[in-house]
Amino acid sequence: MVDSNARTPASARVLDDAPTLVAVAVAVAVAVADDADASHLEGRADVVRLPRVDAGLDLELLLKALSERGVRAILLEGGPTLAGSFLAAGLIDRVEVVRGEWRLVVQTTAELVGCTRCGVWADAHGRRTVRVRDLPAGGRPVVLCWRKRVWRCTEPACGVWTWTEQVAAIRPRAVLTERARVEACRRVGKDAHAVAAVARDLGVGWATVMRAVADHGRPLVDDPTRLDGVASLGLDETSFLKATRLAPTRYVTGLVDLEGGRLLEVVADRTRAAVDGWLGSRPRD
């Protein structure tokens, strides 16, 4: 963290999540009024005092200090002043501009994990980054850059060598987090938003949202209790596909709970047989 004037309070939550280095600016020779007093951060962070340069600190010495601590690459996330200073000093290797979306780096904090087969304590074997999309924040799409931990079994006789951690919030090879998939289903099913509109808000394709609707919507449709309390049933015929030279217009029938104002089911066709078939498959009580 670059905090030239040591304004970060000791109670800041960012100091709780992981070991944090805070770089502050001091005068080169003797202490002066412009020196940043970072004594309140001692014990809460690794405080690095660097020579003050203009209104900031010496960025080249900052990178040297990070290198001495084993850091070989950094992701710069700052405002225009800090980013501009790095650019002016020629210390940027690559610039990535992401229009209109947030990119958040996340990782788990587990340090003790057992082998999935033999149960022996595993060794950390590095991380690999995967990108999944999450719920929008501040009206902008969010991409989670998940640094997935790779573990290695230390038991030579075990057939498992390495494996990648998994969490319930993100399915393997997923494009969306589970909470984003649930929200996509809710918006399409309950709020009647178009699949294409939800896909655009989440920054994914139509098929990705439709799979989420099917996965999370099917259990809701199959739940027998969803029809409890329905006293009056209404029918609504709708043109589903317009006629072409090769096929006639296709219709569907919507079955609605008149008192609750809920759409209960959509059956193909607008015939009595189609409606009778749906009613006949429901319990009489």
| 160-190 per-position pLDDT tens digit | 888 888 888 999 889 999 999 999 999 998 8
Task: Over range 72-98, report the average pLDDT.
Answer: 72
Backbone φ, ψ for residue 91 (5° rounding): -105, 10
Query: Percentage of the chain surpassing pLDDT 90?
Result: 14
User: Is the same domain home to 241 and 260?
Assistant: yes
pLDDT at 214: 93
List residues bridging with 46 in a β-sheet.
21
Query: Percentage of the chain surpassing pLDDT 70?
Result: 91
Task: Over range 58-76, report the average pLDDT.
Answer: 83
User: Is the same domain home to 67 and 24?
Assistant: yes
Query: What SS3 class is residue 284?
Result: coil
Question: By mean pLDDT, which of 91-100, 108-117, 142-151, 204-213 is the weakest?
Answer: 91-100
Task: Over range 135-156, report the average pLDDT.
Answer: 86
Q: Has residue 77 got a pLDDT over 70?
A: no
User: Is the same domain home to 263 and 212?
Assistant: no
103-125 tens-digit pLDDT = 888 888 777 888 888 888 888 88
Helix spans in 18-124 (H): 59-68, 80-88
Last residue of a domain, one of 88, 114, 139: 88
Number of domains composing the chain: 4
Do residues 211 and 221 lie in contact, with contact meaning Cβ atoms separated by under 8 Å?
no
User: Is the same domain home to 107 and 84?
Assistant: no
Last residue of a domain, one of 53, 88, 123: 88
pLDDT at 175: 92
- For the chain, what's the residue count? 285
User: Is the same domain home to 169 and 107?
Assistant: yes
pLDDT at 222: 83
Q: Has residue 268 got a pLDDT over 70?
A: yes
Q: Which residue has the higher pLDDT, 100 or 261?
A: 261
pLDDT at 85: 80
User: Is the same domain home to 217 and 159?
Assistant: no
Q: Domain for residue 2, yes or no?
A: no
pLDDT at 139: 76
Among 208, 153, 154, CA closest to 176: 208
Task: Over range 253-275, report the average pLDDT.
Answer: 87
User: Is the same domain home to 198 and 169?
Assistant: no
List residues bridging with 146 in a β-sheet.
106, 130
Please enumerate in sequence order all residues whose Cβ is within 8 A of that of 169, keeping only pairs 6 or more positions apart, or say none.
177, 178, 179
Cα distances (Å, whole numbers) of residue 26 to 8, 10, 23, 113, 132: 16, 19, 10, 43, 41
User: Is the same domain home to 264 and 246?
Assistant: yes
Query: What SS3 class is residue 35?
Result: coil
User: Is the same domain home to 18 and 84?
Assistant: yes
The strand pair at 233-241 and 46-53 is best described as unpaired
Q: Has residue 16 got a pLDDT over 70?
A: yes
Cα(180)–Cα(170) distance, integer angstroms = 10
Q: Which residue has the higher pLDDT, 217 or 98?
A: 217
Q: Domain for residue 96, yes or no?
A: no
Q: Domain for residue 111, yes or no?
A: yes
Most confident segment among 68-82, 98-112, 143-157:
143-157
User: Is the same domain home to 83 and 122?
Assistant: no
The boundaries of the domain holding residue 183 are 178-222
Q: Domain for residue 94, yes or no?
A: no
> Mean pLDDT in the chain?
83
| DSSP-based helix, strand, coil % in the chain, nearest 5 | 25, 30, 45
Q: Domain for residue 73, yes or no?
A: yes
Q: Domain for residue 128, yes or no?
A: yes
Q: Domain for residue 160, yes or no?
A: yes
User: Is the same domain home to 157 and 194?
Assistant: no
Q: Domain for residue 8, yes or no?
A: no
Last residue of a domain, one of 38, 67, 88: 88
User: Is the same domain home to 140 and 162?
Assistant: yes
Could you give the count of Cα atoms lying within 13 Å of 258 in the half-sphere of its Cβ?
6
Among 209, 137, 125, 120, CA closest to 163: 125
Q: Which DSSP string do the residues of 158-204 spell out, in sequence order?
A: -S--EEE--BTTB-TT-SB-HHHHHHHHHHHHTS---HHHHHHHHTS
pLDDT at 30: 44
